[in-house]
Structure 1
Amino acid sequence: MADALYELRNYYYIGAYQQCAKEAQKTNVKTDRERLEKDVFLFRAYIALGKSSVVLSEISADVKEDVMKAVRLLGLYKSQTSKERVVVQVEELANNTVDDLALVILGSILLSDNKHEEAYKVLKRADLLEARALTIQTLLAINRFDLALKNLKQMQEVDEDATLTQLALAWLYISNGKEKLQDAFYIYQEMIDKFGATADLLVSQSAVKILKNEIPEAENLLQLAEEKDSGSAAVLINQFLVSSVLHKNDDVLSRILTQLKAEHSDLAWVKSYLEKEQLFDELD
């Protein structure tokens, strides 16, 4: 049976959030669950586009479905500076739901909050390909390449050609080092050729180029990514790294840092940089 949400999901997975939202608005579904999942991906796309307020206005605090509760918590997490209370609610809902898609969303929040052990426990309970992909991200974050590879093999047994499986393969290629870097680059290029370029895919290609010490090529890819999403944290961080290597003037680095501090102060990379900056200031 054809998957009515196939295109919609793929757009979301590669970071084509605007296309995902448009696809959701025109996709016809037959079952209540399909309708619910369509709305879930629509709302997740809105949140990724920085429109959490739209989602929070449409999902009431007393919504019944666990997956919609999870989406609302995602919107709250992304929109609030103080996240501790939201994370407590995430963990509480994760302990009480059996909805696979809800578990995926809750696990993604815990992963964003660097709660790797908690994220792993939540994600392994969900029987979805996206759960396995997020599990791989979690394991790579704590340098458990062996377990990440095991999860990849499970994904390949389910659907070797799926977008998520190919993305996960690229992540492992990058983690594996130089001999597989070009293979990762080709995976991203195949997706660009098939679905169109997104900031996420271009940033991923730039990361490969950085690791191969092909910095000018990385800079060119990041310029293309910036045209797609000038406010992307991944774009900004990689631009900062590339600009540092290319010895760009201080004004360029300062502009990037200012934007990161203003728009992405809750990111682990930004927090780490600020801590080091404060340490150097104290030493001076």
Structure 2
Amino acid sequence: MDPFSADGELINIQNAFFQGQYQEVIDFNTSSFSPENNLPARVLQLRSHIALGETEKVLADVEREDETPDLAAVKALAQHTAGHADSALQLVQDLAENYPENGTVQVLGGTVLQARGKSEEALALLAKHQGNLEAVALIVQIHLQQNRSDLALKEVQAAKRWAQDSLLVNLAESWVGMRVGGERYQSAFYVYEELASADSTSAPLSVIGQAVAEIHLGRLPEAEAAISTALQKYPNEAGLIANAIVLNVLAGKPTEDLEKRLQETQPSHVLQADIQEKSEFFDAAATKYSAKVSS
């Protein structure tokens, strides 16, 4: 069974997760869920703990459950997020070899593989999905990271033929729109604005999308206001912190405190890795030059 299918019992908890409402997912009452839906719901709750930086809790929770591929995939994601990259990669590659048809292995394995720069391995694993919309969304993200907007758009258009009204498909189309640019910035903004207006909790991922669209539209104060308000409610949301860093850079404001918070919350975050890489490049370049003082 695809753990991310649109089963009636899972729709609400899935949508909350996809919008970044991680605490709501954790607090979701799953006692009435059918036996076949208990595992996918638990996976979403464990992933929410990871998203909130509670990786050690997750690792302890799934420590002795490696025989369940879904939970082993969660363990790999937690290991990666906690900075244990090599262990996570080895576990994911083992799972991909032994359980390539498992939807959770595809999505979480693909996430870890892409984070380790193994895009082709990630895409090969994700391509095995059977109607898994989260796999589609991840494929779109990978193509965008590869600067292949054409392939990302093709993936979205194909998914719209069988999942026209899906939240994930709408979000994926917005991601592509923000990469293509032009009039699509405004279209993407409307999608996130609609999500935000429909959700009184100001889900962080909706806020992030809306803020990024605002940035592209040249509306930095509006973007900053949205991110600041969301950070007050979700102070440990890595995506919000990362986008606050970008906003501060654009506005000429200091970023040190935010960078420290991101390092504490999610040391493996792609922005954190990029900052570290650029810092190392700068230090390496600086060693090639020395001050020349005239005697």
The normalised TM-score by structure 1 is 0.90
* Among 24, 30, 34, the residue aligned to 1:19: 24
How far apart are 1:262 and its partner, in Å?
4.2
- 1:22 is displaced (CA, Å) by 1.8
Q: Name the CA distance, whole Å, in 2 between partners of 1:100 and 1:181.
A: 32
SS in 1 for 2:273: helix
Tell me if the contact between 1:5 and 1:27 (Cα under 8 Å) persists in the aligned partners: no
Q: Deviations over 1:198-224 (max 9, x none)?
A: 122111111111112211111111112
Runs of 4+ in 1 over 3 A off after TM superposition: 60-63, 260-265, 278-282
Q: How does 1:1-284 map to 2 (within 5 A)?
A: 3-23=8-28, 25-30=29-34, 32-79=35-82, 81-97=83-99, 98-127=101-130, 128-196=132-200, 197-248=202-253, 252-281=254-283, 282-283=285-286
Report sequence identity in percent. 26
Contact 2:65 2:71 in 1 (8 A): no
User: What is the rounded CA distance, in whole Å, between the counterparts of 1:21 and 1:256 in structure 2?
Assistant: 26
Cα drift, residue 85 of structure 1: 2.3
Cα displacement (A) at 1:62: 4.5
CA displacement 1:142-175 (0-9 Å, x = unmatched) = 0111111121122211221111111111111111
Matched residues, number: 278
CA contact (8 A) 1:199 1:228 kept: no
Tell me which amino acid in the other structure corresponds to 2:160. Answer: Q
Q: Could you tell me which runs of 5 or more consecutive residues in structure 1 were left unpaired when the two chains were aligned.
A: none
Query: Are residues 64 and 91 of structure 1, via their aligned partners in 2, closer, same or farther at CA, if it must alter by over 3 Å?
Result: same
Mapped to 2, the partners of 1:46 and 1:265 lie a distance apart of 15
Higher relative contact order (CA 8 A, sep 6+): 2
- Taking a change above 3 Å as real, the CA distance of residues 234 and 41 of structure 1, as seen in their structure-2 partners, is closer
- Higher deviation after alignment, 2-11 or 230-239: 230-239
Give deviations 1:189-246, integer Å, cap 9, x for gaps: 2112223411221111111111122111111111122113223333233222322332
For residues 54-78 of structure 1, what are the alpha-carbon distances to aligned partners after superposition, in whole Å with 9 as ceiling and x for unaligned? 2222223353221121112222222
| SS, match of residue 178 in structure 1 | coil
CA distance in 2, matches of 1:215, 1:187: 19
C-alpha contact (below 8 Å) 1:178/1:212 kept by paired residues: no
CA contact (8 A) 1:4 1:27 kept: no
Higher helix share: 1
Contact 2:53 2:265 in 1 (8 A): no
Cα offset for 1:121? 0.9
C-alpha distance in structure 2 between counterparts of 1:171 and 1:21, whole Å: 26
- 5+ residue gaps, structure 2, are 1-5, 290-295
Higher mean C-alpha displacement, 273-282 vs 184-193:
273-282
- The one-character-per-residue Cα deviations of 1:66-113 (angstroms, maximum 9, x if unpaired) are 11211122222222x231121121012111102123222211222233
Coordinate RMSD, CA, aligned: 2.1
TM-score (norm 2): 0.86
Q: 2:220 touches 2:247 (CA, 8 Å); kept in 1?
A: yes
Decide whether the 8 Å contact of 1:101 with 1:126 is kept in 2.
no
Write the distance in 2 (CA, Å) between the matches of 1:114 and 1:176. Answer: 23
The aligned amino acid for 1:13 is F
